[in-house]
Amino acid sequence: MDTDSFWRGGQEQLFSLMAGIRQRGYGVELAAPARSPLAIRAQEVGITTHGFTQRSELSLAAAWSLARIMGSGRVDVLHYNTPRPVLAGRLAAWISGVPILVASRRVNFPLRSRFSRIKYNRLLDRVVTVSGSIQRTLVQDGVRPERVSVIYEGVDLRSIDGHPSTSVLPVRPGLVVGVVAHLSPEKGHVTVLKAAARLRERFPDVTYVFVGGGERRQMLEERARALDVADRVLFTGFRKDSDAMMREFDIFCLASLSEGLSSAILAAMARPLPVVATRVGGIPELVVDGSTGLLVPAGRPDKLAEALAKVLSSSSLRRRMREAGRRRVAEYFTLDRKLDETERLYLELAKLRRPKRLS
């Protein structure tokens, strides 16, 4: 289940999990806001979807709504993709007889309250983190180690390779540096703009493409004009075809200030693209510095500019990083591996050979 009304990396990864588990013969149902992108995508592929919203964690109405959705005795696993409904879900599970409760954690923020520690220690059977960095943060904040499992996100290489090559970006004379991320403060778009300003004279034909929606678009467009790089920067807004757009990038860049793992980096490495990113959260678990890409400190446009310049200047380096990145994804970060580990976790927790239905 998921309570967010937008489409970001977490929703994309939940969708691939639901679709993959369903293909393996399990029943899968989704509880999510009725008109959310995730709900629409799930319905399009035939996943039963229930409209569900929740404004606060302490909501008896949400618990009752979930209990009605799950019915009695027909759900074996309740898997939360967002943390808000954990308390209501615990009550609903008690009413409905759901034996196993699992939650994914994709952000690397410290737990801010005693209630959060209680929630992860007592109201869940397992917390699945998408990186070792998040796992370490939870354990440091008081979550018992045996309650936390790491299952890395994964990408479907067959699907990626099967996408048709189509041109969706305006024709540009030089190389393209792409950023795919929601326009929120922690994604570090301003750092990329400042780095672009530093590289303007040395690389006059480079275009920077920002793919993603968000409340900061106007501010970022104004900052681009103030830095005199507006003519080099293209804001596309949210795009369903971001996969196709990545095919037209030459370098992928992500200057996050905080990051759990980054589905976008995984997708970029699978394309394959060299990656220039910040050394935060789970990113170093994806990007091997000097091999599949370059890592720099967060909030340092000077260091980001140096790294981008190094990759922009060398076609042979870009080629080596593309090849190394693709190999790394194929070895460690495939969708099949994610599905295998998630299925194994469900069966381990349920102590059943084959659960009837997963939600």
Q: State the CATH number of the domain containing residue 136.
A: 3.40.50.2000
Residue-level pLDDT at 353: 41
Q: Establish if 150 belongs to a structural domain.
A: yes
CA nearest neighbour of 293 among 313, 308, 274: 274
Q: Establish if 4 belongs to a structural domain.
A: no
DSSP three-state, residue 319: helix
- Residue 6 CA to residue 40 CA, distance in Å, equals 11
**Is 318 in the same domain as 182?**
yes
CA nearest neighbour of 178 among 80, 240, 127, 254: 254
Which domain does 197 fall in, by range? Answer: 158-332
**Is 148 in the same domain as 41?**
yes
CB count, 10 Å around CB of 138? 24
- Residue 335 CA to residue 20 CA, distance in Å, equals 8
Q: Establish if 1 belongs to a structural domain.
A: no
Kindly state the tokens that stand for 59.
């909501």
Residues found in the chain: 359
DSSP three-state, residue 124: coil
- Residue 211 CA to residue 201 CA, distance in Å, equals 24
- The structural domain count of the chain equals 2
pLDDT digits (tens, 9 = 90+) for 248-300: 899 999 999 999 899 999 999 999 999 999 999 999 999 999 999 999 999 99
**Is 30 in the same domain as 44?**
yes
Residue pair 181/254 in contact (Cβ under 8 Å)? The answer is yes
CA nearest neighbour of 121 among 98, 96, 85, 146: 146
**Is 136 in the same domain as 229?**
no
- Residue 127 CA to residue 101 CA, distance in Å, equals 9
Q: Establish if 101 belongs to a structural domain.
A: yes
CA 171 to each of CA 155, 249, 347: distance values in angstroms, whole numbers, following the listed order: 28, 12, 50
**Is 183 in the same domain as 197?**
yes
**Is 121 in the same domain as 167?**
no
**Is 173 in the same domain as 256?**
yes
Residue-level pLDDT at 357: 52
**Is 166 in the same domain as 312?**
yes
Where does residue 290 fall: left (phi above 0), alpha (psi -120 to 50 degrees), or beta otherwise? left
- Residue showing tokens 């980096």: 265
Q: Establish if 65 belongs to a structural domain.
A: yes
Kindly state the tokens that stand for 291.
């091999």
pLDDT digits (tens, 9 = 90+) for 135-153: 999 999 999 999 999 999 9
Q: Beta strands of 95-185 (E only): which ranges?
A: 100-105, 126-129, 148-150, 176-180
Chain centroid to CA 305 = 25
Q: Establish if 3 belongs to a structural domain.
A: no
**Is 106 in the same domain as 217?**
no
**Is 84 in the same domain as 164?**
no
CA 51 to each of CA 44, 69, 328: distance values in angstroms, whole numbers, following the listed order: 15, 9, 38
- Residue showing tokens 């409209």: 51
Q: Establish if 2 belongs to a structural domain.
A: no
**Is 171 in the same domain as 262?**
yes
What is the residue-level pLDDT of the chain in tens, covering all 359 positions? 999 888 888 899 999 999 999 999 999 999 999 999 999 999 999 999 999 998 888 889 999 999 999 987 789 999 999 888 999 999 999 999 999 999 999 988 888 888 889 989 999 999 999 999 999 999 999 999 999 999 999 999 988 887 666 666 776 779 999 999 999 999 999 999 999 999 999 999 999 999 999 889 999 999 999 999 999 999 999 887 777 788 889 999 999 999 989 999 999 999 999 999 999 999 999 999 999 999 999 999 999 999 999 999 999 999 999 999 999 999 999 999 999 999 999 999 977 444 445 55
Determine if the pTM surpasses 0.85.
yes
Q: Establish if 58 belongs to a structural domain.
A: yes
**Is 79 in the same domain as 202?**
no
